[in-house]
Amino acid sequence: MLKIVGYPDRLSVAPGETIDFKVSVDEGDSFDARIVRVVHGDCNPEGPGLKFVHIPTDADGSHPGKVQRIDAGSFMRVERFPALAAAPFTFVTMLWPTLLKRDDQTLLCQWDPETESGIWIGLAAGGRISVTFADNGKVSTVIADRGMLEREWYSLVVGVDPGARRVTIDQKPLVPYAQVEDTFVGSFDLDVAPPVIEAPLFLAGCPGADGTVGRHYDGKIDGPALLSGLHGRAVHDALLRTPGDQTLGTDIIARWDFSRDIRSLQGVDVGPLRHDGEFVNLPTRGMKGWNWTGEEHSWSKKPEHYGAVHFHSDDLYDAGWETSVSVTIPDDLRSGPYALHVSCGESDRTATREDYLSFFVRPPRDPKARVNRPKVAFLAPTCSYIAYANHAEHITARGVEVLMNRMVNFGHSDLYMYEHPELGGSLYDTHADGSGVAYSSRLRPILNFTAQYHSWLGGHGSAVYQYNADTHFFDWLEHQGIDYDVITDEDLHEEGLDLLSDYEVVMTGTHPEYHSTRMWDAMKAWIDRGGRLMYMGGNGWYWRVAFHDELPGVLELRRAEDGIRPWVAEPGEYFHSFNGEYGGLWRRIGRPPNVMAGVGFIAQGFDISSYYRRAPDADNPRAAFIFEGVPDEIIGDFGLVGGGAAGIELDCIARDLGSPPNMLRLASSEGHSALMLLVNEEFGPVPPNLGGDQNLRVRADLAFGETPAGGAIFATASIAWCGSLSHNGYDNNVSKITANVLKRFLDPEPFATGDD
């Protein structure tokens, strides 16, 4: 098990800026720290091995350590709310519960955790409405006799008379079913009268005495309201009617309309007293409500149909840990990949007592300070790192060994993820209630974004993926003596084309899968202006993501129609709540990856990697510089990732999807296994020959093409390519081809456009 974990407050930091690290130590009361430049993070003994360069800073030495915990679960909090126990009131809402096996789920409460006093309305196990009155630890609870069904809408009206110690519950399904008894109307007397307390009001969570918020609700809430006095079911019908019943205005204490300001963190109260709430830990917004008809699928066009918020007991935005180490980046520190190496003792078979908290040093933020910079930049795919943060499908899904064609070994990080679901999942995981994780944040420990991590998706040999696979490329660049800057996806989203304009060459990571619209537009504009792109991986520019307007470091993804989807968004919930854009594949909005990189995703498989065979276009004079000193017909029949340079995920040239007609197919992979499968957006009816052992479309195309502005694109079309760079002491045809391309791409001589 891990004994020390942590995270930085940012992934990209410029010289002169300060970066804060949050660390939690499970053993002892201190830890050691030092900054290192990450050169190679793969500990496979068949490769170069781990390589780190110590960078002396004020972080060096011992620091106080302690256990820091995560308070996961989303809710809405309303400060300075009037005391509910002062007079009779009625709570009305529409509910769509999603995890009814859980007990003790809060719908609404006003609670003083120190005195254990207040009013609590929630769900007991089985979806039965429960109401609690408490006074200084004396508790009385009533529970409805009939429960609800999961993922069905219910109208709920709860009348509460605190002085009389009486409660009425009226529960009605929006859609009744024969032989299902889920309607309930009943009155109860309680044994305790709650005191009048001044405390915030909570939806979907309840404050605890330790300062955390717990007892979370899993499911949707739409249109919650509080009215003074006791009202029956008819009042809910009147509230839901359009136009509204004006006679209710004097009775409204609060009436929240979650279809307002969907992009914000605010739960808007449209009542006269404006008791606006604040959403914490990012419950999912832009969700269809009880009245969604299917006539409109974009919440921005018909927001009144998107008044639901989906709360989860395992939502998380910011772990909120205290800072353990702060480091000011020296002004003369080279741009590149770095980490804070933290340790609390020697690791052994039972425990890992060190971690590498990864980050990147970028060029100065002020363009005027960017003098004498390298002409080549590595675009760190931090969107992909965040999307895959704490990816735990291998822990929760069945049949993983069949897909991988090997035993999947769990390391200490995997066990820690299993034991600590409060870390939050990746965009590939599902919440406890089975709904997909649509938001992923970097402000938490990310156990698979670190040197030494072994990924279940990494293939035979070096089980590395995402960040750790990218360290193969860092190592090659270092070995070649290439000076380069690192810019991150977040940097590109924030600064756009201006950030790229200083560079002749941009190199990607092994898996640049996720991009925002601003990132896509900036990269395409840079290429169209003569930039030279070295696409060093596969499955790039695949999913469209959104950044939040107010919160840094969090991504949204809606897994809309098509694509490799471990979970599928509900119909009507395909548009991002952060910006209103349609989510899903870039391909589905007319921007296939082929338009950007010349090639696009065609197949994936995680067992073994294969090789490329030289194609006729390799002999085209336009490609002569690429194959200088490389006469070989077979390319990359070696490598740390699966034993070859073509593996994990593959791209190919497809003219009908936007690959430019001048793209040269230099080489194509072959000999893939039956588990290298054609991706599902590439077929309609399921063909009988999905695997690479039968389907000739399953291949990676090593590709090159010039652009009209004198630039060029080189695509490896395989995630495994960089895993072959270090073979035979870096003396191999994969390394030579890569070096040849980079050398020519750094030559300012424009590429021929064919117009001469």
Tokens of 604: 């994936």
- Selection from 105, 71, 1 nearest residue 423 by Cα: 71
Are 251 and 347 spatial neighbours (Cβ–Cβ below 8 Å)? Answer: no
Q: How far apart are CA 219 and CA 102, in angstroms?
A: 12
DSSP code of residue 367: G
Q: What pLDDT score was predicted for residue 129?
A: 98
Contact 627, 621 (CB under 8 A): no
- What is the C-alpha to C-alpha distance for residues 269 and 79, in angstroms, rounded to an integer? 13
Which three-class secondary structure state does DSSP give residue 485? strand
pLDDT at 211: 94
What tokens were used for 275?
Answer: 């008791």
Q: List beta partners, residue 222.
A: 94, 308
The SS3 assignment for 380 reads: strand
Token representation of residue 49: 């091995």
CA–CA distance, 595 with 606 (Å, rounded to integer):
26
Cα distance between residue 369 and residue 401, in whole Å: 51
Question: Helix H segments across 76-216?
Answer: none
Whole-angstrom distance, CA of residue 264 vs CA of residue 117: 32
Q: Please, what is the Cα angle at 556 between 279 and 448, to 5 degrees?
A: 105
Cα separation, 9 vs 442, whole angstroms:
8
For residue 685, count other CB atoms closer than 10 A to its CB: 5
pLDDT for the residue 522: 98
Assess contact for 87 and 98: CB atoms under 8 A: no
Q: Which amino acid is at 578?
A: F
Give the integer Cα–Cα distance in Å for 13 and 328. Answer: 9
Identify whether the C-beta of residue 39 lies closer than 8 Å to the C-beta of residue 389: no
Per-residue confidence (pLDDT) for residue 756, from 0 to 100: 54
- Rounded-to-5 percentages of helix, strand, coil across the chain: 15, 30, 50
Alpha helices by DSSP H, 420-547:
467-480, 489-495, 497-500, 517-528
Q: How far is CA 267 from CA 292, 411, 656, in A?
A: 20, 41, 46
User: 511 near 721, Cβ under 8 Å?
Assistant: no
Contact 425, 388 (CB under 8 A): no
pLDDT of residue 409: 77
H-helix or E-strand spanning residue 386: helix 382-387
Q: In sequence order, what are the residues at sequence separation of 6 or more whose Cβ sits closer than 8 angstroms to the Cβ of residue 116?
A: 134, 136, 137, 139, 209
Residues in contact with 535: Cβ distance below 8 Å, sequence separation at least 6, in sequence order:
508, 512, 597, 598, 599, 713, 714, 715, 716, 717
Q: Which long-range contacts (CB under 8 A, 24 or more apart) does 547-552 make?
A: 547/490, 547/493, 547/516, 547/578, 547/579, 548/578, 549/263, 549/264, 549/578, 549/579, 550/264, 550/265, 551/265, 551/282, 551/317, 551/441, 552/10, 552/443, 552/490
Helix intervals (H) in 552-625: 593-597
Query: At residue 247, what are phi and psi to the nearest 5 degrees?
Result: -70, -15
Rounded CA separation 362/385 (Å): 17
Strand ranges, E, within 525-619: 532-535, 543-544, 546-547, 554-556, 584-585, 600-614
Q: What is the largest CA-CA distance in the chain?
A: 92
Helix pair angle (467-480, 733-746), 10° resolution:
70
CATH number for region 75-311: 2.60.120.200
Which tokens in the block code for residue 670?
A: 């072959």
Contacts of 756 by beta carbon, 8 Å cutoff, 6+ apart:
none
Which H or E run includes 354?
Answer: strand 354-361
274 burial (CB, 10 Å; 0-12 / 13-18 / 19+) is exposed
Closest by alpha carbon to 513, among 391, 388, 394?
A: 388
Question: Comparing C-alpha atoms, which of 92, 341, 379 is closest to residue 235?
Answer: 92
Q: Structure pTM? A: 0.96
Q: Where in the chain is the domain with CATH 2.60.120.200?
A: 75-311
Closest CA to 414 of 394, 442, 386: 394
DSSP three-state, residue 233 = helix
What pLDDT was estimated at residue 755?
A: 62
User: Distance between CA 122 and CA 129 in Å, rounded?
Assistant: 6
Is residue 455 helix, strand or coil? Answer: coil
**Averaged in consecutive runs of 10 residues, what is the pLDDT profile of the chain (756 residues)?**
96 98 97 98 95 97 97 97 97 98 97 97 97 97 97 98 97 96 97 96 97 97 97 91 78 97 97 97 98 97 97 98 98 97 94 97 93 96 98 78 77 90 96 97 97 85 93 98 98 97 97 98 98 98 97 97 92 98 97 98 95 98 98 98 97 98 98 94 89 92 98 98 98 98 97 79
431: tokens are 């919440």
Q: Which three-class secondary structure string do you get for 634-692?
A: EECCCCCECCCCEEEEEEECCHHHCCCCCCEEEEEEECCCCCCEECHHHCCCCCCCCEC
Pairwise CA distance, residues 392 & 446, whole Å: 11
Q: Are 537 and 510 in contact (CB under 8 A)?
A: yes
Residue 263 C-alpha from the chain's centroid = 17
